[in-house]
Chains A and B, each alone.
Chain A
Amino acid sequence: MERMIPVDKLARPEDHILLPANRTRNARSEQGLSPGNAMPYEDDFLKSRMHGICGGEFQAMEAAGRTLYDFPDAPWEFQLDMARQVWDESRHAEIYMKLLEYVGSYYGEFPEGEVLWSCTQAEDPAARVAGINRGLEGLACDVFEQLIRIAQKMGDSVIERSVDYVLADEITHVRMGSQWMRKLTEGDPARFKRAQEFQDRIDELFNFGPGRKRVEDVDHVKQRIDGKEIEIDNGLTIAREARLLAGFTEEEIDRLVKGFGKSAAY
């Protein structure tokens, strides 16, 4: 049975544009933009951010489904959790497709990236859940909490409540990942260490250089959204409260803020 399927094997309609990250970076650099994601000062920030999340939800759905399929000998409860996560992510994808329409966009307006799928490339289910559930879903907590605060500043309860609804699920996914990472590696510290290292690499990848900032420390930038000028964060922040709810420790959160990318499982 083939595990770790390459990204171009994911089923996508022919009319979608699927790009490796370097092609998107080149296109942005040539226009004088920062090479990573759309920044808060760009007109397309909200559309682009939601588009990236929507693609992430699709790939998270596929990743959980793939984990369920790839490890038929894993405990039944593990498989049930993965199946539940597939269902959660599919609802999230639907929610974000509707949010895209709400902000004047649609799925496919921007290219779909591959970077999230690259984080699923682990042979061991313990590493998979460490990377996807703790690394990526932890990142989702940060991104969603920031989006909720932006929506609050906009006075937009549609975005605020929709994203809050999704965030509640992500918190359970992180907890699920922590539980299975620990359980699957019980009595095997070397396996635990390998899973932890896989997650570290993902945390590092998404630290975006200087690391995530505390909400109270981040700089702000003015942006005009929905006819209102609001001040929004000029970088990625860390969702301390959501991460604590998800079971991350203060020490793990501190490490992510410092940009070490280490997030030792509790």
Chain B
Amino acid sequence: MPDLGERGNVMGPQPIAPVVEPPAEMFAAAERLLNALMRGDNATVEAMTPAHVRDEMMQIANAIPANKYDRFELIGRARVAHHYFLKAKLSGSTGEPFKFQFRLGPKDGEWTVREALDLSGRRSAWSR
């Protein structure tokens, strides 16, 4: 989004509501998942994935060679009520980065993966 200026320093209408900040627990869960994927820790990935999403999540886990990537970046984020769609990029010293999109949602205090989509060869989740 372009910089529209520091609203506090200008005259005119001020925002009538605060921006909703994503919960720290959601970021922590995303970090846990991505680190597990990079080191090939399928047990942790499975533990964060309910049964109905396990197949699609494990396909992604299996597409990521253990220890090929050593850093991640959350390059996109959008929310639907209390769930967050996240787009992640995994990078390493060699080869193309790996991109995928997943949704995290809270249940009973735990953030789990609700869906996942490999973005390899796609520009977005729009491509079907």
Interface residues on A, range: 35 or more
Q: Contacts A8-B123, A27-B83, A110-B78 known; A158 to B13 CB distance under 8 Å?
A: yes
Q: Contacts A15-B75, A20-B128, A111-B78 known; A31 to B123 CB distance under 8 Å?
A: no
Give residues 89-114 of A contacting B (CB, 8 Å): 97-98, 101-112, 114
Bound state CA distance, A16 and B85, in angstroms? 10
Judging by beta carbons under 8 Å apart, are B17 and A226 in contact?
Answer: yes
Judging by beta carbons under 8 Å apart, are A14 and B15 in contact?
Answer: no
Q: Which residues of B contact A6 (CB under 8 A)?
A: 126-127
Q: Which residues of A contact B18 (CB under 8 A)?
A: 104
Interface residues on chain B, number (Cβ under 8 Å): 34
B16-28 interface bits toward A, Cβ cutoff 8 Å, 1 = contact, 0 = none: 1111100000000
Q: Which residues of A contact B17 (CB under 8 A)?
A: 46-47, 103-104, 226
A4-38 interface bits toward B, Cβ cutoff 8 Å, 1 = contact, 0 = none: 00111100101111111001101110110100001
Within the complex, which residue of A14, A18, A27, A114 is in contact with B80, where a contact is CB–CB below 8 Å? A27
B32 at the interface (CB under 8 A from A): no
Bound state CA distance, A20 and B115, in angstroms? 13
B71 at the interface (CB under 8 A from A): no
Q: Which residues of B contact A23 (CB under 8 A)?
A: 85, 103, 115, 125
Q: Contacts A102-B13, A108-B1 known; A17 to B83 CB distance under 8 Å?
A: no
Q: Which residues of A contact B124 (CB under 8 A)?
A: 8, 12, 16-18
Judging by beta carbons under 8 Å apart, are A17 and B85 in contact?
Answer: yes
A229 at the interface (CB under 8 A from B): no
Give residues 22-81 of B contacting A (CB, 8 Å): 75-81
Q: Which residues of A contact B114 (CB under 8 A)?
A: 27, 30
Within the complex, which residue of A20, A26, A47, A102 is in contact with B126, where a contact is CB–CB below 8 Å? A20
Q: Which residues of B contact A19 (CB under 8 A)?
A: 78, 85, 125-126
* Consensus secondary structure, chain A interface: loop
Within the complex, which residue of A38, A103, A111 is in contact with B16, where a contact is CB–CB below 8 Å? A103
Within the complex, which residue of B7, B82, B115, B125 is in contact with A18, where a contact is CB–CB below 8 Å? B125
Judging by beta carbons under 8 Å apart, are B1 and A106 in contact?
Answer: yes
A219 at the interface (CB under 8 A from B): no
Give residues 36-90 of A contacting B (CB, 8 Å): 38, 42, 44, 46-47
Q: Which residue of A lies closest to B16 (CB)?
A: A226
Judging by beta carbons under 8 Å apart, are A28 and B81 in contact?
Answer: yes
Q: Which residues of B contact A20 (CB under 8 A)?
A: 125-126, 128
A241 at the interface (CB under 8 A from B): no
Judging by beta carbons under 8 Å apart, are A102 and B15 in contact?
Answer: yes
A156 at the interface (CB under 8 A from B): yes
Bound state CA distance, A103 and B127, in angstroms? 31
Q: Which residues of A contact B126 (CB under 8 A)?
A: 6-8, 18-20, 114
Give residues 101-147 of A contacting B (CB, 8 Å): 101-112, 114
Q: Which residues of B contact A7 (CB under 8 A)?
A: 126
Bound state CA distance, A45 and B22, in angstroms? 18
Within the complex, which residue of B7, B105, B122 is in contact with A31, where a contact is CB–CB below 8 Å? B105
Q: Which residues of A contact B19 (CB under 8 A)?
A: 104-106, 109
